[in-house]
Structure 1
Amino acid sequence: MKKSFAILFALILSQFQAQQNAYYQQAAQYKMDIDVNAEKFTYEGNQTLNYSNNSPDELNVVYFHLYWNAFKPNSMMDQRVAGQGKNGDSRLQKDGISRLASIPKDQEGAQNIHWIKQNGKDLKFEIQETVMKVYLNESLKPNSKTTFTMEWDAVIPQQIRRSGRNNREGVDMTMSQWYPKIAEYDYDGWATFDYVGREFHAPFADFDVTIKINKDYVVGAGGTLMNPTEVKGYDTSASIKADKNKATWKWNAKNMLDFAWAADRDYSVESFDVPQGPKVFFVYQKNDKTKVWSEARPYVTKYFQIMNSRFGKYAYPSYAFIQGGDGGMEYGMCTMILGESKEIEDLMGLMVHEGSHSWYQQMLATNEPLRPWIDEGFTSYAESIVMHQLFPPTDERPNPFVDKINAYRGIVQKGIEEPAVWLGDHHDNGTAYSFASYVKGELYLVQLGYIVGEQNLEKIMTEYFKEWSLKHPTDRDFLHIAQKVSGMDLKWFHHYWINTTKTIDYGIKDVKYDTKSTTITLLNNSQVPMPIDFSVMTTDKKIITYQIPMNMTHTWKQKDGYGDFTTEKYWPWTQKEYTLTIPYTKSQLSLLGIDFSQRMADVNPENNFVEVK
């Protein structure tokens, strides 16, 4: 009996430990040496990659991304753009025709792999468009490490999307997604989405990157420059060390998803320190078209202070805003953005959005090709909050999200909405993708705040950062924290908002005034059930709110941040009508309505209010 009990206890303990240690993440260390031919827009690369398999699975193959292979005629990206026509990404087309189709032969993107080895032994590999499949000679056991070495050369493509040469603002080289990058491996398997225009995913990695380039170039990058006195632009006392006509730039970065850089002969570099971090770099062409950058420093300082206090402390030592993209695109410790802006608010909108991806893409590193609404939506939520503080609106808006809610209503009315759950690259309509990922992803948090209360939402966001920073969370992990903090069942909300295009539409059906009270009948006109904040304004301008819970949450909102309320009997989600009687007469009331805060994304708000006359 004793022996049997001991065996049983050991089995239970091992299962418990397996459950406790179920989460894992892979790790990589890159050492790269790059030699750039600036005249021909090519480079030669040599890479050593130490890779840790922290999974419980034995790996017999690994995958690398070769993103630049997309930038050529008849690539999968070209085919996708051509297939979508005017419904696709306008930046990838002109007059509905793919811009990739006309890339000259000598400007086609290419990453030509000469060889790859594992622990010094040659490996077989095959190129599948923008994905390279590598067959291992030695299987990679669970919790073990291996070393890959690789040599390749690359042609910097014509600038079409994010990467490339000679972008529309005249920056010579935007070097993003520029190296053979190992794919992420997790419980869902290898993240090997073909690159056809959208986002990226990768394991956390350390980077040691040496770049040789003509000595008259200035390089901006997401990382720490290890030799600022030996190169141009970063130190006024610099004595440029050149190997013939080339300077050597040494960059280092720890625990990031990627390493991006840009190079131009006309770059200026400015830097300043945000109290409690980070150090910020502006790398841009200083001219009349970029003069608003000179106004940005105090706004950027306040931006990082707001983000650090509201959403979690930025984890890295520096951040660089680099003029080098075709709009804006986030990378580790930097972003590539357009530099030419007429107004400081426009420039800051771009900087705030891309900078906020340091939280919701870099530190909280969800799989964006798989779940774009988390990264883009949560980033847009932070952007709305910060911009509301940096540039307070001149009108009296009830909340920072009014414009996004109105935009969402517009897309619903057009009838082109697509579910947020769809894969980023697999939306049929470019506008529908943007609304599903950016707008609906942002409104996911706005609706969540309406349901659980704003104080609870702030706790959810900080707890999410605390538990999952520098890891790879999923929407299930976020939902787990939201339910834990609020005490509510929220699976129903997550399903409706992310997996469907069903809408919220509540209205006031009837109002009856009696001698001592008023009775209001509310109606759910659509498919998504919600708790309801019903408010009245008295003739002496007092606002009284009645919170009507929805039964599926099982626990009711206690506080909100938009004023006190009285909790009423719950409204079953199967019940179309709800009757509420309040102790006010017609002569005491001036206005009554649903959601005075205007946070609920009701697609038909016209029937939500009644003016008492």
Structure 2
Amino acid sequence: MNKFLFTLLFCAFFYSFAQLPYYYQQHVSYKMDIDVDVANFTYKGYQNIKYTNNSPDELKVVYFHLYWNAFKAGSMMDAKVHNQGDEADSRLTTLDAKGSKISRLSSIPANEEGVQNIHWIKQNNVPLKFEIQGTIMKVYLDNPIKPNSSTEFSMEWDANIPKQIRRAGRRNKEGIEMTMTQWYPKVSEYDYEGWAAFDYVGREFHEPFADFDVNIKINKDYIIGAGGTLQNPKRVKGYDVNYTLNPDSEGKVSWHWKAQNILDFAWSADPDYTVESFVVPDGPKIYLVYQKSEKTKYWGELKPYLTKYYQIMNSTFGEYLYPSYAFIQGGDGGMEYGMCSMVLGEASSLSRLVGLMAHEGAHSWFQQILATNESMRPWMDEGFTSYAEDYTMYTLFPTKEPNPFAGVVDSYISFVKTGKEEPAGWLGDHHDSERAYSVASYTKGELFLVELGYIMGENMLKQVMKKYYDVWHLKHPNGKDFLHIAQNVSGMDLKWFYHYWINTKKTIDYAIKNVQYNANSTTITLENKGGVPMPIDFNVFTKDKKIVTYNIPLNMMRTPKVNDYFGSFQVLKDWRWTDKIYQFDIPFTKDELVAMGIDFTQRLADINPQDNFIEVGNNNPQVMVQGK
């Protein structure tokens, strides 16, 4: 290589990482051989693992996740459900004779428990000491893994496929034989926050990017759906019309799957599966793996909707990077994994089925490609995914709502008034109730983006989302990484909003305090009655059917919004966050006005919107909410 070319390559490499000077990420390669006993719902497993330590730290221990150990009486999951009582996740509970919620795990039969028995683990063929700590296995290394080096592990285990309690297991309520998710001993993520060795109590996951080479030996009559690329479609059922089975003496065939640079490998198996596929133009190949029946009739209508969905997602949030994606009937609702989702298939309508797939599919961007630690920051995954779901569904199934997010604003306001809200910044598993977790993670996480769209303008937010993807795809960004992108693209200071919205329960509450009609103008007095300061869009609707937007920047932003939804847009002087009252004049008389108010678009998550709108000329001014 000549010196000039080497210099160019070195500079390009250095520049790409110079923007992220403290960033590194680990990598894992799994090679597995699995032998399934379908009659007894057990399997035997063997895996070789190459682990690459790209951190600056010497690692003396390694942690593995053993998620299925949660599916038994007395587990931490069982204890949490018991402690939450009627506030617990309904999927983990049943009703006792008195009608009270009790844990489904407390009475699970021993032969249906989740069990992962680790026979041994070795590092470079040297046996290692390990401890099982519930759903975590702590492994003491023979040789510490030095920075920027690799080591190899091998291990053997067997497992009892549990009764389907949460996401994984045998015979879910729709009759799917095996949902094999979070099913193997999985290396924990290690980054500058340390080991992500959270106990599994029913919610979120986090792991390093990994490559997978998996052989699954199973009864010849079963069909497997998985997140990956099938290497031998002509030797198994369902994927090639010209397949030829060559079962072994036990009547089993091997399925060979590969996947690169994904977070985990999930699969499901059933003898009654049908496999259908189609290719999205300039997008992935989509697989639909389900039991075809009258109850799953809407699966046959999915192709045009999923095609349009992936095209919207690619153009709005960044390119889906993998060759395929499988929607597989299984699990207990909807759950995302590498290159696939497990979804219940018996939907009550086409739009409900598409909505479920739109949500789980969007996790491919925010849980997989932009792989945040959702155990610590679930709002960045569930919230951003919910935003993408509502954004795409608004196009696929148009409504009369003024924007895609009017419904989620209303939902948030209703919950806040219960007094049970908890901060979005809490760890995912540590909320006091399932509903509080859902609102903090899904609703407030989605509204984080909705409010940013209101603050900076929708076109600017689109630029932020694309830049976020461009800089952080196939990495593990956190909230401050996103904030840095948002501030860099918009030119605004947004730290105040991030703090208020994510770390507190303070709410937005603005009001029209007074309106004075003058001979040639109208004087508006606004009041901030809430705890979260915000910029304000004050909209005026005139009798000649014009809408004028007066934008009042918040002084902490330092840079105002340029434009947004409506054509006539004027920026007024800043509203200082320490001031509760703001007054300004508009050049319209009472006779020229029809209505006016704060945020006609209904994106501002104001908990008391009834005092935000006025119908002019009404002797008893009432709330005017557009679209209601």
2:549 and 2:566 in contact (8 A); partners too? no
Amino acid across the alignment from 2:429 = D
Aligned equivalent of 2:622: none
**Aligned-pair CA distance for 1:578:** 0.3
Residue 568 of structure 2 aligns to a residue whose secondary structure is coil
Q: Distance in 2 between matches of 1:364 and 1:18?
A: 20
Task: Give the equivalent residue in structure 1 for 2:406.
Answer: 402
> 1:235-288 CA distances to partner (integer Å, 9 max, x unpaired)?
111001211200100000000000000000000000111001200000000011
Q: Does 1:595 align with 2:594?
A: no
Letter of the 1:582 counterpart? I
1:351 correspondence with 2:388: no
Matched position secondary structure for 1:112: strand
Structure 1 CA distance for aligned equivalents of residues 297 and 519 of structure 2: 66
Match for 1:223: what amino acid? G
Structure 2: how far apart are the matches of 1:483 and 1:198? 31
Q: Which amino acid aligns with 2:281?
A: P
Q: Deviations over 1:285-331 (max 9, x none)?
A: 00110011001111011110110111101000000000011000000
- Deviation of 1:564 after TM superposition, in Å, equals 3.4
Paired residues of 1:218 and 1:264 also in contact (CA < 8 A)? yes
How far has the Cα of 1:610 moved from its partner?
A: 1.1
Report the alpha carbon displacement of residue 410 of structure 1 after superposing the two structures with TM: 0.3
Q: Say yes or no: does 1:476 pair with 2:445.
A: no
Output the amino acid matched with 2:217: K
Paired letter, 1:590: V
> Helix, strand or coil: the match of 2:63?
strand
Shift of 1:18: 8.6
Q: What's the CA shift string for 1:379-438, capped at 9, x where partnerless?
A: 000000100000011x2x211101100000000111110000001000001101001000
Contact preservation (8 Å) 2:189, 2:206: yes
C-alpha distance after superposition, 1:417-476 (max 9, x if no partner): 000000100000110100100011000000001111111100000000000001000011
| 1:489-524 Cα shifts (integer Å, max 9, x gaps) | 100000000000100000000000111110010000
Is contact 2:543–2:594 with CA below 8 Å preserved after alignment?
A: yes
1:413 aligns with 2:417: yes
Q: Return the match for 2:124 from 113, 119, 123.
A: 119
**Residues 133-152 of structure 1 correspond to what in structure 2 (within 5 A)?**
133-152=138-157
Residues 547, 568 of structure 2: 8 Å contact kept:
no
Distance apart, 1:562 and its partner CA = 3.8
Report the TM-score when normalising by structure 1.
Answer: 0.96
More divergent stretch after superposition (235-244 vs 253-262): 235-244
Question: Do the aligned residues in 1 keep the contact of 2:273 with 2:289 (CA within 8 Å)?
Answer: yes
Q: In the alignment, what sits opposite 2:471?
A: 467
Match of 2:530 among 523, 526, 530: 526
State the distance in 1 between where 2:402 and 2:296 align.
34
Distance in 2 of aligned mates of 1:514 and 1:561: 29
Q: Report whether the alignment pairs 1:306 with 2:306.
A: no
CA distance in 2, matches of 1:235, 1:423: 45
SS where residue 417 of structure 2 aligns?
helix
- Find 1:548's aligned residue among 545, 549, 552: 552
Q: Which residue of 1 aligns with 2:461?
A: 457
Question: Partners of 2:336 and 2:541 in 1: how far apart?
Answer: 45
Tell me, what secondary structure is at the counterpart of 1:242? coil
**Aligned residue type for 1:199:** E
Name structure 1 gaps, 5 residues minimum: 1-13
Q: Is the 8 A contact 1:455 1:561 kept in 2?
A: no
Instruction: Give the aligned partner of residue 371 of structure 1.
Output: 377
Aligned partner (choices 245, 259, 277) of residue 253 of structure 1: 259
Where does residue 282 of structure 1 map in the other structure? Answer: 288
In the alignment, what sits opposite 1:46?
A: 46
Say which SS state the counterpart of residue 248 (structure 1) adopts.
Answer: strand
Aligned residues: 597
Which AA in structure 2 matches 1:93?
Answer: T
**AA at the equivalent of 1:455:** N
Which residue number corresponds to residue 333 of structure 1? Answer: 339
Partner of 2:584: 580
Mapped contact 1:292–1:341 kept (Cα < 8 A): yes
Which consecutive unaligned segments of at least 5 residues does structure 2 have?
1-13, 96-100, 618-628
1:70 corresponds in structure 2 to 70
1:234 to partner: Cα distance: 0.7
Cα root mean square deviation, aligned: 1.2
1:5 aligned partner: none
Q: Distance in 2 between matches of 1:486 and 1:562?
A: 19
* Partner of residue 134 from structure 2, selected from 129, 137, 142: 129
Letter in 2 for 1:83: N
- SS of 1:243's equivalent? coil
**CA distance in 2: counterparts of 1:325 and 1:402, whole angstroms:** 30
* Secondary structure, counterpart of 1:23 in structure 2: coil
Give percent identity, aligned residues only: 65
**Distance in 1 between residues matched to 2:270 and 2:382, nearest whole Å:** 29
Runs of 4+ off more than 6 Å: none
